[in-house]
Structure 1
Amino acid sequence: MSINVVEKIDDLVKVKSVLVSVSDKSGLDKFIPRLVEINPEIKILSTGGTYGKIKEILGKAADTCLTQVSDYTGQPETQGGLVKTLDFKIYLGLLTETYNDSHQSDIERTQAVPIDMVVVNLYPFKETISKSDVTVEQARGNIDIGGPCMIRASAKNFLRVAPVVDPSDYEMIISEIKANNGMTSLDLRFRLAQKAFDHTAVYDRAIADFLKQQAFSDVSGCYKK
């Protein structure tokens, strides 16, 4: 297998397109309007409850900048939100490299959009399993799939994409973007990538530890009628 080696990147990348899908919606009421203020032409992709929250926050301004992921991909969310963001156009937008001609050709062919920032945090698995009466099935239902995939893809491509996983970083990120005329720096993207991979590592460790502690009889008993 040949490995793509990147030899040219941009230090500063303008935040034109943002994908937002969060379990913890704290801080969005300040973060999203300030992103729009910095770049009034910004495009925001979002899903489910996050889309509804951003629409509420932005009011009429949402009409020009906010799009549901399902409308962008042409694939409706599955029942219960089981599949929302696992789509070729999403991951092409996350992983594409600016100076890769093949990637740019794929972008043009699919009419995808390069995504410059991903704002994602995960289903509350730790909070769920901390309950004394939690069942294996309840825990299983709170294992996030699309979220970690988006975080990993954006963090891998920190050369161009800013992965944002912690609401406490919103103020710092806005400050740096504003100082750079609406752009993220490579230094910021790299720092966010470090935090993003740590975020998914801790999440996966919690899942693995929980499952390891369960007796198979308890697991199988959840599904027997």
Structure 2
Amino acid sequence: PEMQGGLVKTLDFKIYLGLLSETYNPAHAQDLARLEASKLDMVVTNLYPFSKTVAAPTATPEQARANIDIGGPCMLRAAAKNFLRVAALSDPVDYARILAELKQGDGSLTLNTRFELAQKAFAHTAAYDTAIAAYLAGRTASAVRQCYKIMN
């Protein structure tokens, strides 16, 4: 379930069980069954357009805050961490190549491909977090406070 406004829709423990489980580990397989969770073999996600949003001359701190993606980076990082089994697809440029490999590999990707995708996913989430940190570093609390009437 998600909160109003679409918050928390991908922050569900069953998603992370499915991404992080090591299905070759019998205890993990038992946990998946016991908790009625399914293994997930791939994450394909595009993050909220934070950099594009804050690049607009009229962007407000609230628009910036609203475009900080939480669930997308979490899923990418979980998938990338478990590259032994899970593919973390973070760049639309890769879609056609990955689809072709899936077709050629009978629905599977090689470890080399999953590792390459993990490298790319961690670089992507690091750049995303760096953009957020840079934006926040360029603001003062008093300037941000002016956007929020209820904050002191």
State the secondary structure of the residue aligned to 1:184.
coil
Task: Let me know the Cα RMSD of the aligned residues.
Answer: 0.9
Q: Tell me, which stretches of 5 or more residues in structure 2 are unaligned?
A: none
Say which SS state the counterpart of residue 124 (structure 2) adopts: helix
Question: Is residue 194 of structure 1 aligned with residue 119 of structure 2?
Answer: yes
Are 2:24 and 1:99 aligned?
yes
Aligned-pair CA distance for 1:140: 0.5
Gap runs ≥5 in structure 1: 1-75
- Residue among 55, 75, 86 paired with 1:150: 75
TM-score by length of 1: 0.65
State the secondary structure of the residue aligned to 1:118: strand
Choose which of 83, 90, 100 in structure 1 pairs with 2:15: 90
1:110 corresponding residue in structure 2: 35
**Equivalence map 1:67-216=2 (5 Å):** 76-216=1-141
More strand by share: 1
1:221 and 2:142 are equivalent in the alignment: no
| Separation (CA, whole Å) in 2 of partners of 1:164 and 1:224 | 40
- Distance in 1 between residues matched to 2:59 and 2:11, nearest whole Å: 28
Query: What is the CA distance between 1:177 and its match in structure 2?
Result: 1.4
CA deviation string 1:20-79 (max 9, x = no partner): xxxxxxxxxxxxxxxxxxxxxxxxxxxxxxxxxxxxxxxxxxxxxxxxxxxxxxxx2211
Aligned residues: 150
Runs of 4 or more, structure 1, over 4 Å off, are none
For the residues of structure 2 that align with 1:96 and 1:215, how far apart are their CA atoms? 42
CA offset at residue 224 of structure 1? Answer: 2.3
Offset, 1:213: 0.3
What SS does structure 2 have at the residue aligned with 1:163?
strand
Displacement of 1:119 after TM fit? 0.3
Letter of the structure 2 residue corresponding to residue 210 of structure 1: Y
How much has 1:222 moved relative to structure 2? 1.2
Which residue identity is paired with 1:154? A
CA distance in 1, matches of 2:127, 2:140: 23
User: 2: CA distance between counterparts of 1:154 and 1:181?
Assistant: 20
Aligned amino acid, residue 193 of structure 1: A
The structure showing larger relative contact order (alpha-carbon pairs under 8 Å, at least 6 residues apart) is 1
| Structure 1 CA distance for aligned equivalents of residues 98 and 12 of structure 2 | 27
